[in-house]
Amino acid sequence: MFCGDIDIRIARDGTWFHEGSPIGRKPLVKLFATVLQRDDAGDFWLVTPVERARIRVDDAPFIAVDVDREGLGRDQRLVFRTNVDDIVTADADHPIRVTFHGPRAEPSPYLLVRGRLEARINRAVYYRLVDLGVAEMVDGVPLLGVWSTGRFFPLGPLTDDA
């Protein structure tokens, strides 16, 4: 049954709010996260077998708060942990993407967690990825990126002033 919009919002920093107040119980947030879905139009929904309610998400619903590297080189695995303790390996089904915004081209990196739900990669984890990054030519363009499960994920262009 469609319940309409409810006053739940996920802030850019990953904090969940109900009626303007932070939800301080992590087990409750983790429970909500298990029933979170995103539709084709980009709307976010809490979906149970009997109810469906739309919520607001400022950016991405999750935050990638840690990354571990298993192995080395092109076959290494980059394994991320989110703020709701999802464990996700960057691969063909869980790609890393980076968008750039503003006059200084600030990076906004994301990891696909499941379905259409992404985790914004926090600054510390992004810097760790940059530290692990290697230069590769992609379509004639030199890019800095990381390898995981045999796939290259660009983090940004390499420039002469970098």
Please determine, for residue 162, whether its predicted confidence score (pLDDT) is greater than 60. Answer: no
Q: 130 lies in a domain?
A: yes
What gap in Å lies between CA 7 and CA 21, rounded to an integer?
Answer: 10
What gap in Å lies between CA 80 and CA 76, rounded to an integer?
Answer: 13
CATH, residue 48: 3.10.540.10
Identify whether the C-beta of residue 74 lies closer than 8 Å to the C-beta of residue 132: no
Q: Look at residue 160 in the predicted model and tell me its pLDDT.
A: 55
Residue 117 CA from chain centroid, whole number = 8
Task: Tell me: do 50 and 78 sit in the same domain.
Answer: no
Parallel/antiparallel/unpaired status of strands 106-114 and 117-121: antiparallel
CATH, residue 125: 2.30.270.10
The 10 Å Cβ neighbour count of residue 82 is 26
User: What is the percent of the chain with per-residue pLDDT over 90, rounded to a whole number?
Assistant: 86
Identify whether the C-beta of residue 38 lies closer than 8 Å to the C-beta of residue 116: yes
Please determine, for residue 8, whether its predicted confidence score (pLDDT) is greater than 60. Answer: yes
pLDDT digits (tens, 9 = 90+) for 72-114: 999 999 999 999 999 999 999 999 999 998 888 889 999 999 9
Joined tokens for residue 59: 């950016």
Q: 96 lies in a domain?
A: yes
Q: Look at residue 105 in the predicted model and tell me its pLDDT.
A: 82
Joined tokens for residue 132: 């692990």
Last residue of a domain, one of 57, 82, 101: 57
- In sequence order, the β-bridge partners of residue 154 are 145
CA angle 116, 44, 105 (to 5 degrees): 65
Mean pLDDT for 124-140 is 95
Q: Look at residue 2 in the predicted model and tell me its pLDDT.
A: 72
Q: Domain containing 80: what range? A: 62-157
Q: What is the pTM of this model?
A: 0.91
Task: Tell me: do 80 and 120 sit in the same domain.
Answer: yes
Task: Tell me: do 76 and 124 sit in the same domain.
Answer: yes
Q: 162 lies in a domain?
A: no
Task: Tell me: do 47 and 100 sit in the same domain.
Answer: no
For the CA atoms of the chain, what is the radius of gyration?
17
Q: Look at residue 159 in the predicted model and tell me its pLDDT.
A: 72
Task: Tell me: do 76 and 140 sit in the same domain.
Answer: yes
Q: Look at residue 103 in the predicted model and tell me its pLDDT.
A: 86
Q: Look at residue 161 in the predicted model and tell me its pLDDT.
A: 53
Sign (positive or negative) of CA dihedral 141, 142, 146, 152:
positive
